[in-house]
Structure 1
Amino acid sequence: MAKDVQEQTAFDVIVVGSGAGAMASAVVAADQGLSVLVVEKSDKYGGTSSISGGGIWIPNNHHFAAKGGQDSYDKALQYLRAATGGCVEEVRLRAYLDNAPKMIKYLESRSRVRYAVAEKYPDYYQHLPGSLPGGRTLDPELFDTSVLGTDLAALRQGAPSNLLMGRIAWTARQAHKAMSREFGWRLMVLGLMLRFKLDLAWRRKSKFDRRAALGTALIASLRRSLQDRKVPLWLKTEFRDLVMDGDRARGVRVQREGREMVLEARRGVVFASGGFEQSQALRDKYLPKPTVAGWSATPPGNNTGAALEAGMKIGAATGLLDRAWWAPTIRVPKEEKPRGVFAERAFPGAIVVNGLGRRFVNEAAPYLEFVDAMYQDQERSGAKSIPAWVVFDANFRFNYAMGPLMPSQIMPDSRLRKEWLNSVYWKSDTLGGLAAQIGVDAKGLEETVLRMNDYARTGVDAEFARGGNAFDRYYGDTNVKPNPCLAPLTKGPYYAMRLDAGDIGTKGGLLTNEHAQVVRDDGTPVAGLYAVGNCSSAVMGTGYPGAGATIGPAMTFGYVAAMHIAAAKRG
């Protein structure tokens, strides 16, 4: 008689972690006839993927082609070569381009995962050869979480900022339409609100939407796909170490329900457990300074580098340990983690300054490059740019969101939490008064605003070319002319918010080959050991080619790992 799955300790494949890469790998492995166990140290499943936008960057995908989009393997390879900074072997880049389209076709045909193309979402580096103005990023469709049953309670929920009015699910395409104020956005928002309100049966159960959106939708669809395959997911099961049989990985040592267990992996162990951004010790060892785990937008207590350290202990090679998937963050009192600031930096009428009151970067730049600029400016100029300060006026405050502040036409200052004043935002009738509150040079700030007001009038940012490419303009206000990313700061009161050098994960980790196998310094694979996602050295190198360039590779190499394990079993 077969053991109950809760007592079983031997499987073909053990997957460590429960994000998108982990679950995709588990789904594919199960389909290939392998017995699979997924272990997760948290009491919630979904990891960083669940709180993300859920997008996947898939060059040459079938959704874009079906709409007449023009992409090609050669064009994507040209772009990747340029975007990755020359630090990734071409065999890995080609493995990604070969398998990413296959991965999403596979999951959409055999699992609950569903995507649509974000036709207007540009690649991040529009100046590089092979870039496209849209079509490579896929956006998760909404997912009805009621099908998860009791497992819904353990789903890691995304940030309130990922939902309309903090409660209503919408796709990234719908959010973009509203934020850029495209034609019909108000009617669309009204429709979403009515759909939510009229779901009376669910309203009696929860104040939140029954539908999941963005990364939470992706994770919910993958979790349901695991349920369909009866793949066990053990929560509160912390990975402690690898179990080796000579040079081969044969299992894992875990802590579960207060006792240590050894779990056998007959065919392979797949590390998919995230980076090390929540370990202050590892941050201090590898990342540029200053660095604080509390600046990260990922769930505290997770992603502490256990897989990295276990791999290094057995002689695995590593790469990119001094790099992260940077994103500026804002700390909000009583919230579990800071909020990443992504789209808002492109809205017209807000600027970012250092301690001298001067701009040092195109505010609408990709978030990785934005935080890179914070570090570079601090080192180059000696000005304090960590933290930096986003500054805006009453007109911006009325029309646009910034971090947790919804537009004042929806949420005026009188309705904001009192403890947020002088902790989340600072406010003064004059720029000089604001500068004094936040410790920024007043003259420098006033001069910067005068220059920006002139740029807004001409439509040309003479310093940093903000709004000068398709990526910048993606979140600009389409109604603002001549540049959708530029507007003057002229009306008090003036506001400031602190931006820390945050991240959405580290991108350095165990080095892998084209099969997602962990390799040693000499390039030989560690038999039975695979790594995907942020615990592996990023296939995207030092860059961030487009939205979904974290989760896309995690899922793709999760698929690759499962197929490689299955082929080895058959062969």
Structure 2
Amino acid sequence: MSAALTAAIEGLDVLIIEKTPFVGGSTAVSGGAVWIPNNDQAAGLGHADTPDQAKLYLDQIVGNWSSDTMKRAFLDAGPAMLGYFERHTQVKLVARAYSPDYYPATPGASLGGRSLDPLPFDGRTLGKDFARLRDPLKEFVVLGGMMVTMTDVQHLLKVTSSFASWRHGMAMVLRYAGDRLRYRRGTRLVLGNALAGRLFKSVLDRQIPVLTETPARRLVFDGGQVTGIVVDHEGREIAIRTRRGVVLATGGFPHDPERRKAFLPDGIGLWSMAPEGNSGDGLRLGEAVGAAVRQENSSNIFMTPVSILTRSDGEVVKYPHLVWDRAKPGLMAVNGAGRRFVNEATSYHEFGLAMVEGDKTQPTIPAVLICDAAFLKRWGLGLALPGGRPFRHLVEAGYLFEAPTIPDLARQLSLPADALADSVARFNRYAKQGRDPDFGKGGNAYNRYLGDAEATGGNPCLGPLDQAPFYAVKVYPGDIGTAGGIVTDGHARALDAEGRVIPGLYASGNDMNSVMGGTYPGPGITLGPAMTFGYLAGKDLARQPLGA
């Protein structure tokens, strides 16, 4: 949608084709953060930034996994993209006053300003097309369809103890109750659903046609350039001729088993949070006309630990342990030997990498997240929601493990009881001291940002496991999208194996090989580049000579 909007604003005729019945893709089910260094809002929040500072940070984290050309293209165009969309579309983003980069001690890192969130969006303004906007993940809603942010959850947990929280919560619930009289879910959209909704409303405002349930079959390649695309629409193939070009943005290959097997380490199953329609179509279309698809990245997926519930009817529910529970005081992660292996408060991507690396020497897939009764009530654990919500069904389903003692929990999990008891005792000593010398939980600004904001001790990420019963869930190295993709230049133009531009072909989003090279520098490093290189593709298309 970013590419389509830019091209349309620049005066081109645009068509969006979508394989599934729904618009929004991975964006609609995401947290919605957009990472754009040196944006116009950052300085006003006390985080003055420069392209050189951001480049220094990317050089430290991304290194040679991405070229200077691609890094500079992103850093230079990102702020311009934000201003362009602010002026011409419904997209409204607000920078976070405090949101550390994921490696905050690294030269060039920032403690805030670089990540932006979409303002809440009223889905009712989409009219009948609200039904075509992809639903958010079920884990991002409460009461069956009311979207919530982390701030909303904090208020809802305090509705009986704070008047401000009661007022906030009541306004949300009353709005949602009214929505359910007319809609199948709430219309107050937040997170990635708000961003997708704002983009979609902008597309509708520009009268850009969107053909849903229209999978792409092949590109038309004529005279050494892409001149069209063949799609399957309403049961028949249609060849669509293009005068400027085609932008591939099909969401990467998270649900392509063959490419996952070829691109990912052993031991990683099909544990993706991305929509199932994202099955590698764009990469296959590009390869068929000579586009290079890169496999040599730091990682070919953006990782997150995922817990899995199999319901009695066979439905599989995956929960991504992104930012809510792992950094809080009183949660510990162990491997199959009953030993800690990672800083639990590290980024979701680093946690996933640690599982894969640890599994090379000791069983670490699955790993186990462990907490006590006090933690479960206050913070929840995966699908076991906080605030004393019912969870017995999760125990009976084999998702949540419950035991009166740590040795009993170890036996349920098939872990060495002595080792687990020793790990818990060691963890509890560190919690009392307020320092984790083994893995440094709570040792940097990013950890503490996600810890307990109301903690009175010296470390908001450390707390004991000492109130029986004890609980655990198993987690697997899942993903929120893919990083390996079509190689492009700084204008999002697809390149062949020799580095030559393929005229008429562009790639953006997760179809484009990540400008981060499969690393994860901060919150929003998929959506920020997706919007930026979509914008760059649209701008470049407008500069191309008119085709036949």
Q: Per the shorter chain, which TM-score range?
A: over 0.9
Cα RMSD between the aligned structures? Answer: 2.2
2:27 to 29, 37, 49: 49
Q: Percent identity?
A: 38
CA distance in 2, matches of 1:346, 1:336: 26
CA pair 184-130 structure 1, distance change in 2 beyond 3 A: farther
Residues 112-131 of structure 1 aligned to structure 2 (within 5 Å): 112-131=90-109
Provide the secondary structure at the position in 2 that maps to 1:250: strand
CA distance in 1, matches of 2:302, 2:112: 21
- Structure 2 partner of 1:342: 322
- Structure 1 partner of 2:371: 392
CA pair 188-554 structure 1, distance change in 2 beyond 3 A: farther
CA distance in 2, matches of 1:457, 1:360: 20
CA pair 450-471 structure 1, distance change in 2 beyond 3 A: same
CA pair 48-189 structure 1, distance change in 2 beyond 3 A: farther
Provide the secondary structure at the position in 2 that maps to 1:500: strand
Greater Cα offset, 137-146 or 339-348 = 339-348
Provide the secondary structure at the position in 1 that maps to 2:497: coil
List runs of 5+ in structure 1 lacking aligned partners.
1-22
- Counterpart code for 1:327: T
- Structure 2 partner of 1:319: 294
Contact kept in structure 2, 1:88 and 1:540, CA below 8 Å: yes
Greater Cα offset, 221-230 or 322-331 = 322-331
Structure 1 position 404 matched with structure 2 position 356: no
Provide the secondary structure at the position in 2 that maps to 1:332: strand
Contact kept in structure 1, 2:158 and 2:166, CA below 8 Å: no
- Structure 2 partner of 1:568: 544
Per-residue deviation, 1:296: 0.8
- Structure 2 partner of 1:39: 17
CA distance in 1, matches of 2:169, 2:117: 21
- Counterpart code for 1:83: I
- Counterpart code for 1:495: Y
Map Cα deviations across residues 470-505 of structure 1 (whole Å, 9 max, x no partner). 100111002321210010001111111010110001
Residues 522-537 of structure 1 aligned to structure 2 (within 5 Å): 522-537=498-513
Per-residue deviation, 1:134: 1.3
Contact kept in structure 2, 1:178 and 1:185, CA below 8 Å: no
CA pair 366-187 structure 1, distance change in 2 beyond 3 A: farther
Structure 1 position 85 matched with structure 2 position 63: yes
Provide the secondary structure at the position in 2 that maps to 1:97: helix
- Structure 2 partner of 1:292: 269
Map Cα deviations across residues 425-482 of structure 1 (whole Å, 9 max, x no partner). 1111011111111121211111110010011011110111010111001110023212
Structure 1 position 198 matched with structure 2 position 174: yes
CA pair 169-525 structure 1, distance change in 2 beyond 3 A: same
2:194 to 208, 214, 217: 217
Provide the secondary structure at the position in 2 that maps to 1:331: strand
- Structure 1 partner of 2:39: 61
Greater Cα offset, 449-458 or 201-210 = 201-210
CA pair 512-53 structure 1, distance change in 2 beyond 3 A: same
CA distance in 2, matches of 1:132, 1:183: 34
Per-residue deviation, 1:203: 4.2
CA distance in 2, matches of 1:362, 1:176: 25
- Structure 2 partner of 1:491: 467
Map Cα deviations across residues 358-396 of structure 1 (whole Å, 9 max, x no partner). 1111011111111111010011x2x21111110111111
Contact kept in structure 2, 1:140 and 1:171, CA below 8 Å: no
Provide the secondary structure at the position in 2 that maps to 1:504: strand
CA pair 304-183 structure 1, distance change in 2 beyond 3 A: same
2:247 to 270, 273, 289: 270
CA distance in 2, matches of 1:136, 1:217: 19
- Structure 1 partner of 2:438: 463
Provide the secondary structure at the position in 1 that maps to 2:64: coil
Provide the secondary structure at the position in 1 that maps to 2:251: coil
1:333 to 307, 310, 316: 310
Map Cα deviations across residues 100-147 of structure 1 (whole Å, 9 max, x no partner). 011111111111111111111110111211001111000111000001
CA distance in 2, matches of 1:167, 1:96: 36
Map Cα deviations across residues 83-113 of structure 1 (whole Å, 9 max, x no partner). 1132211011001011101111111111111
CA distance in 2, matches of 1:284, 1:116: 39
CA pair 218-488 structure 1, distance change in 2 beyond 3 A: same
Contact kept in structure 2, 1:168 and 1:192, CA below 8 Å: no
List runs of 5+ in structure 2 lacking aligned partners.
none
How many aligned positions are there? Answer: 539
Contact kept in structure 1, 2:406 and 2:420, CA below 8 Å: yes
Q: What TM-score, normalized by structure 1, do the two folds share?
A: 0.90
Per-residue deviation, 1:233: 0.6
- Structure 1 partner of 2:411: 436
CA distance in 2, matches of 1:337, 1:50: 18
